[in-house]
Amino acid sequence: MARVAVTGGLSYSGRYLSKLLLDAGHSVVNLSSRSAPLASSPLLASDVAKVQTLPLDFTDERKLGSALEGCDVLYCTYWIRFARDGDTHSAAADRCAKLFDLARRVGVQRIVFTSHTHAREDSPYAYIAGKAQAAAALRSCGVPSYAIARPCGIFGDTAEESILMNNAAWVLRRVPLFLLAGTGQHRFQPIHVRDMAQLLYDLGRLTETDAGAGNGLSSRSRPSEERDACGPDAPTSLELFKHLGRAVGARGAVLAPGFLPTRLITKLTKPIDWWTGDVLLDGDDLDLLGSGLTVAEDPDDLAIRSRRSLLSWIEQVSPTLGNEYVSSVRRYYYAR
Ligand SMILES: NC(=O)c1ccc[n+]([C@@H]2O[C@H](COP(=O)([O-])OP(=O)(O)OC[C@H]3O[C@@H](n4cnc5c(N)ncnc54)[C@H](OP(=O)(O)O)[C@@H]3O)[C@@H](O)[C@H]2O)c1
């Protein structure tokens, strides 16, 4: 049994990870700045009661360091959705670097970080450039071993938890014409949240067990590793939104005429932002979706094929997808 720290251990993917950790008998420290979890499933009330919640307060290094004391593994899912109110993804990367350094100093043995597919420090997309900056800090921080998971999107369990899919369905249910930027031919290969949690859980194991030289088993420390966190379906955006439209019974057409720039599409969604008080489409997000970088770096990773299908999930939850709008700003910024 290990003591494990999870940033956002009662938030989205961290909540599903906490369930796996608790079921395996580990003790979980949730590092969070939320006053209350947004949802509990799949955790039972008895699971939540076992989780120790401590503040994820980057301004108080002493407290953050002592929160990590005695932990064997740190899972860092911490990130910011948008550059907002003067905060930036580069600053978020610096905060991750600080967390990694504190973890190493108090003796954490392994750190698992959620990055993004094709993250490079010189990327023009600030979200993934920041991820690459944080990943570089992890590689050089001196912790005994680390793992990096690379998702490009996470969906499931419920429609409400999957903001991108839900809000696209919300729009599809209401408009006669759904326009995509560019040709709509770039692929998107997200992972189901339960598969994401399982991958993180596996990446955080401290040892590998082998058949030993004698008749017993031996275990050895795990090396550092970096893996894609992608699912088996990689539809083009045109295929994806057509599928979504059909699944929710939308009557309008989904078109990618090829000449519409992302900036025009984001401008067209501004009335929705005004109505909902949200940011439906962040220009950078949309550019990233159309960049060809939202697919696995290692398509031959065999684990990808055994994961849950995005297109089947859309059909399963289609009666509830897009009935209600889900605000990212409320989820990530106001409901704290
Ligand atoms: N969801 C996706 O589609 C997607 C796609 C690509 C990569 N990823 C990456 O995968 C990881 C997990 O994603 P997730 O969707 O499961 O994230 P999440 O649980 O909603 O949030 C992950 C962590 O970031 C913190 N956080 C988020 N917004 C914050 C804010 N405005 N201020 C302070 N803390 C904030 C959360 O803190 P609290 O506990 O305080 O909420 C939590 O510790 C993230 O690193 C994300 O960048 C996700």
Give the mean model confidence (pLDDT) for residues 59-83: 95
Residues 179 and 201 in one domain: no
Q: How many angstroms is it from 40 CA to the middle of ligand 1?
A: 16
101/169 same-domain check: no
- Mean pLDDT of the residues in the chain: 93
Q: How far is the CA of 252 from the centre of ligand 1 (A)?
A: 33
The residue with greater pLDDT, 136 or 1, is 136
Give, using CA atoms, the residue closest to atom 17 of ligand 1.
12
Closest of 2, 237, 262 to residue 125, by C-alpha: 262
Of the ranges 82-91, 96-105, 293-302, which one carries the lowest mean pLDDT score?
82-91
Report the pLDDT value the prediction gives residue 38, as an integer from 0 to 100. 76
Report whether residue 37 contacts ligand 1, using a CB cutoff of 6 Å.
no
Ligand 1 center to residue 78 CA distance, Å? 5
Which range has highest mean pLDDT (32-36, 83-87, 287-291, 302-306)? 302-306
pLDDT at 126: 95
Q: Is residue 254 within 6 Å of ligand 1 at its C-beta? A: no
CA of 327 to the centre of ligand 1 (A): 14
Higher pLDDT, residue 94 or 160? 94
Question: Closest ligand 1 atom to the C-alpha of 13?
Answer: 16
Rounded distance between C-alpha atoms, residue 185 and residue 256, angstroms: 9
Residue carrying structure tokens 């420390």: 221
**How many distinct structural domains can be found in the chain?**
2
CB neighbours (10 Å) of residue 125?
20
Nearest Cα residue to atom 9 of ligand 1 = 114
Whether residue 58 is found in the same domain as residue 183: no
Is residue 211 scored above 60 in pLDDT? no
294 CA distance to ligand 1 middle (Å): 17
Residues 61 and 168 in one domain: no
Q: Is the pLDDT of residue 214 over 90?
A: no
Predicted confidence at residue 220, as pLDDT, reads 74
| pLDDT mean over 80-106 | 95
Please tell me whether residues 141 and 165 are part of one structural domain: no
Give distance in angstroms: CA of 216 to centre of ligand 1: 41
User: Which CATH number fits the domain that encloses residue 62?
Assistant: 3.40.50.720
User: What percent of the chain is predicted at pLDDT more than 90?
Assistant: 84
Q: Residue 285 C-alpha to ligand 1 middle, in angstroms?
A: 15
* 231 CB near ligand 1 (under 6 Å): no
- Say yes or no: CB of residue 79 within 6 Å of ligand 1: yes
Asked whether residue 81 falls in the same domain as residue 115, the answer is yes
Residues 130 and 257 grouped into a single domain: no
105-109, 232-236, 325-329 — which is least confidently predicted? 325-329
| 244 and 119 in a common domain | no
Q: What is the pLDDT of residues 38-66, one digit of tens each?
A: 788 999 999 999 999 999 999 999 999 99
| 112 and 181, same domain (yes or no) | no
Q: 183 C-alpha vs ligand 1 centroid, how far in Å?
A: 30
Tell whether ligand 1 has an atom less than 6 A from the beta carbon of residue 218. Answer: no
Same domain, yes or no: 47 and 81: yes
Please state the rounded mean pLDDT for residues 13-20.
97
| Residue 213 pLDDT | 46
Mapped to the 3 state alphabet, what secondary structure does the chain carry? CCEEEEECCCCCHHHHHHHHHHHCCCEEEEEECCCCCCCCCCCCHHHHHHCEEEECCCCCHHHHHHHHCCCCEEEECCCCCCCCCCCCHHHHHHHHHHHHHHHHHCCCCEEEEECCCCCCCCCCCHHHHHHHHHHHHHHCCCCCEEEEEEECCEECCCCCCCHHHHHHHHHHCCCCEEECCCCCCCECCCEEHHHHHHHHHHHCCCEEEEECCCCCEEEEECCCEEEEECCCCCCEHHHHHHHHHHHCCCCCEEECCCCCCHHHHHHHCHHHHHHHCCCCCCHHHHHHHCCCCCCCCCCCCHHHHHCCCHHHHHHHHCCCCCCCCCCHHHHHHHCC
Report the pLDDT value the prediction gives residue 114, as an integer from 0 to 100: 98
| pLDDT for the residue 85 | 85
- Ligand 1 proximity of 294 Cβ (cutoff 6 Å): no
Could you tell me the residue range of the domain that residue 300 belongs to?
156-189+232-334
Specify the range with the lowest mean pLDDT, choosing from 47-61, 125-139, 266-280. 266-280
Nearest CA to ligand 1 atom 29: 80
- What band does 124 get if pLDDT is binned at 50, 70 and 90? very high
Question: For residue 216, what pLDDT band results from cuts at 50, 70 and 90?
Answer: low
Residue of 6, 10, 13 to test ligand 1 pocket, by largest number of atoms within 8 Å of CB: 13
Question: Do 15 and 141 fall into the same domain?
Answer: yes
- In the numeric block, which tokens belong to residue 324? 């209600």
Is residue 218 very low, low, confident or very high in pLDDT (cuts 50, 70, 90)?
A: low
Whole-number Å distance between alpha carbons of 1 and 70: 12
